Amino acid sequence: MARSVLVTGGNRGIGLAIARAFEAQGDKVAVTHRGSGTPDGLFGVKCDVTDSDAVAAAFAEVEQAHGPVEVLVSNAGITDDTLLLRMSEEQFTRVVDTNLTAAFRVTKAATRSMLRKRWGRLIYVSSVVAMLGSEGQANYAASKSGLIGFARSTARELGSRNITANVVAPGFVKTDMTASLPEQRTEAILGNIPLRRYAEAEEIASAVTFLASDGAAYVTGAVIPVDGGLGMGH
């Protein structure tokens, strides 16, 4: 049965690959964008996930078009890298607001109808950096590991209503986010990845669609690494 799926930041990068994977399964897929427009064939809603009113309006639009959101993929995220000594409080809180507090906002918006329906799938896109830490990414790592505690608490609170909450932790993926890494850093990263390559966004999407599938009905509070072995299960 076609499900109502919402992917935040589904207009490009990993989010778009996730949206396309659900679309290919025949689901009704909505994506958020911040003005770039909607990719062909998808239902787009304009939404900045740091704005609670915009999130509420986006959910209302998706609900009207596709019915209540049954599968939520909280994927939108940013980096703003610099060493701790140079990092401003604004740089820290902006990244946490976009990557973590926004996950809280969209989860709150999605769970009301999931609770009524007694079914729901909450999936959060974290990062291998959540477990390993990363120089110059104290803000990003904090936000991404925060998602794990958040998802696990949600899994405990909502499990009795048949709502699962899981995390996918990608390693390095070929997208705009990693395109600007200097070549020297890229080589150093590749040297630490057993599979010796970056992931394709589609490889992240397959873990996400698995978590939303009937086959994953008994998986909740899990963190699934898709990182070519970089984190070795941490």
Residues acting as catalytic residues: 140
Among 25, 67, 68, 78, interactor with ligand NDP by CB under 6 A: 78
In terms of Cα–Cα distance, which of 181, 145, 173, 166 is closest to 211? 166
The rounded Cα 2 to chain-centroid distance in angstroms is: 21
Report the Cα–Cα distance between both ends of the chain, in Å, rounded.
35
Taking CB under 6 A as the rule, does residue 15 contact ligand NDP?
yes
DSSP 92-114: HHHHHIIIIIHHHHHHHHHHHHH
- Contact between residue 26 and residue 6 where contact means Cβ atoms under 8 Å apart: no
Identity of the residue, 17 or 155, whose beta carbon is nearer to ligand NDP in the bound complex: 17
219: left (phi over 0), alpha (psi -120 to 50) or beta: beta
Identity of the residue, 120 or 171, whose beta carbon is nearer to ligand NDP in the bound complex: 171
Taking CB under 6 A as the rule, does residue 13 contact ligand NDP?
yes
Q: How many residues bind ligand NDP (CB under 6 A)?
A: 29
Taking CB under 6 A as the rule, does residue 223 contact ligand NDP?
no
Is 12 annotated in a binding site? The answer is yes
The one-letter amino acid code at 89 reads E
Footprint (CB under 6 A) of ligand NDP, residues 95-134: 98, 125, 127
Among 19, 42, 49, 110, interactor with ligand NDP by CB under 6 A: 49
Is 30 annotated in a binding site? The answer is no
Q: 3-state class of 41 per DSSP?
A: coil
In terms of Cα–Cα distance, which of 127, 85, 103, 144 is closest to 224? 127
Taking CB under 6 A as the rule, does residue 166 contact ligand NDP?
no
How far apart are CB 24 and ligand NDP at their closest, in Å?
18
Taking CB under 6 A as the rule, does residue 150 contact ligand NDP?
no
Identity of the residue, 22 or 172, whose beta carbon is nearer to ligand NDP in the bound complex: 172
Among 4, 145, 166, 175, interactor with ligand NDP by CB under 6 A: 175
How far apart are CB 7 and ligand NDP at their closest, in Å?
9
The tokens describing 160, both together, are 């009795």
Instruction: Tell me the sheet residues that pair with 173.
Output: 199
Binding-site sequence positions: 9-12, 75, 140-144
